[in-house]
Amino acid sequence: MQIVFLGTSSGAPTTKRNVSGIGLRLLQRGSWWLFDCGEGTQHQIMHSILNISQLEKIFITHLHGDHIFGLMGMLASRSLRGSDTSKITLYGPKGLEEYIQAIMKISPIHLQYPLEIKITEEGVIYEDDEMIVEAAKVKHRVPAFAYSVTEKPRPGAFKIKLAKEAGIPKGPWYASLKAGKTITLEDGRVFDGKDFVNPPQPGLKVAFSGDTIPCEAMVKLAEGADLLIHESTYVHKHLELAERSGHSTAYQAASIAEAAGVKELILTHISPRYDTEDGPITLDDMVKEAQSVFPTTILAEDLAIHEIKRTRQK
């Protein structure tokens, strides 16, 4: 899995940062998912490695403008391409469907592909043979959700060298052993497939906070994640501003990462007040604040690509 940051600013864009949007690239599936879609997200997609025709799902954390004002423009632009006819599934809080319908009523848009809208509830909101997506209610000024995406465990590698050393013929016998079955060869020897397959490998897990003040639901959702992407609107010196607006500080984001036992933390949703090199508080100060609690912390940058490391091996 790869993360592509499309927007890392809070509230309003700056010359260096667009408002919220994060792409999750699922390399083996040849598709990607989008988390939030602030104004200008479609422009960022065009400057990134992402292809809008491969967009499969969109997850909206909450209905503040800096997280959804780019949604309808992007959906409309995808439709204008004509050839992009695959379905998009849109997840988000109650009110999202009314928002979509209101815009389409006033400014008619005929989408050339199916758009399915699902209202997010707590718990597992999507599952297939490979992935599980969970949602948790977090604490913000409006109803808001955080999301986690977890790969299901992958089958262990087949011990082909061991099979060869045992003199087991290639072909159907190998397939049966890979499936964990017990086989009996023509010479009467019996082999248990469990002896020829390594233990399953845990899948990767990534959690997205959206906008929230620190809460236990976020810790539980992110537990054991390989990567936590958490909002860091303010530094802790401005805690009063964070509490008033329903956001987190860098220190608090790092504390969540530590409590959840994640492997890496990336700070995003940065207040424009820090996006200057000569201000009294800089982005370096924000990162250092978080690293004092959780050393494996970095700061998100627009259009940066982050490979999620496979560190959760048994």
Does the annotation count 66 as an active-site position? yes
What is the 3-state composition of the chain as percent helix, strand, coil, each rounded to the nearest 5? Answer: 30, 30, 40
What distances in angstroms separate CA 49 from CA 32, 52, 64, 128, 193, one per listed residue?
11, 10, 27, 25, 41
DSSP string, 246-273: T--BHHHHHHHHHHHT-SEEEEESB-GG
Q: What is the C-alpha separation between 128 and 138, in angstroms, rounded?
A: 25
Are 22 and 42 spatial neighbours (Cβ–Cβ below 8 Å)? no
Task: List all residues 6 or more positions away from 164 whose beta carbon is below 8 Å from its beta carbon.
Answer: none
Residue-level length of the chain: 314
The residue annotated as part of the active site, out of 66, 84, 226, 302, is 66
- Residues noted as catalytic: 66
